[in-house]
Structure 1
Amino acid sequence: MCLGVPGRITEIIDPNKKLAIVDVSGVKRQVNIACIVDDQNPPESCVGNWVLIHVGFAMNRIDEREAAETLKLLEEIIIAQGTMSNYE
């Protein structure tokens, strides 16, 4: 199963290598944004965008509502897994 995690681009650290800093629920990490940039959407225009991240790559842009819903579901899964481990 593949899992994409929503994050918000806060900074472009290397536009030539297409590297950005993304905030994922308060945790900042470096990601590659090559999949979401083109002539109409240069790296600098990505700051503030919500993206779906998978294995260090921003795979596509998502809206803030979708990001919030996904983060809520992921949190519920984490809580459920913690609860389930009490029964094992």
Structure 2
Amino acid sequence: MCLGIPGRVMEVLDGYNGQLALVDVAGVQRKVNIGLLEDGPVEPGTWVLIHMGFALERVDQNGADQAMSGLELMGRGPDSGEPLT
């Protein structure tokens, strides 16, 4: 698993050949490039780890929770006041 910010895909955006999605990151929706993900199309509800605006890995809810916990330990989580991306 890479060190990344967990986010949940809300929708794959039209007009970008399936390469761009709207992803919820700690309550904020961001456009994220999903073109590097393997294993078929990305569906809404899929959890991903994001690094530098690119979704690099699919994770499950547990993996997303672990990634967020790691960020919180480093002082970068939603309760720290610091931006996640």
**1:71 and 2:72 are equivalent in the alignment:** no
Deviation at 1:76, TM superposition (A): 2.6
TM normalised by structure 2 equals 0.74
**Corresponding letter in the other structure for 2:7:** G
TM normalised by structure 1 equals 0.72
Deviation at 1:13, TM superposition (A): 1.1
Deviation at 1:64, TM superposition (A): 0.7
**Corresponding letter in the other structure for 1:60:** E
SS in 2 for 1:73: helix
Instruction: After superposition, give the CA deviation of every residue in 1:40-65 in whole Å (9 maximum; x if it has no partner).
Output: x22xx421110010111110101110
- Aligned residue runs from structure 1 range 15-30, under 5 A: 15-16=16-17, 18-30=19-31
Match in the other structure for 1:85: none
Q: Is the 8 A contact 2:4 2:67 kept in 1?
A: no
Structure 1 or 2: larger helix share? 1
**1:12 and 2:12 are equivalent in the alignment:** yes
Deviation at 1:70, TM superposition (A): 1.2
- Aligned residue runs from structure 1 range 1-88, under 5 A: 3-14=3-14, 15-16=16-17, 18-37=19-38, 41-42=40-41, 45-78=42-75
Deviation at 1:17, TM superposition (A): 5.1
Where in structure 2 are there 5+ consecutive unaligned residues? 81-85
Q: Is the 8 A contact 2:12 2:18 kept in 1?
A: no
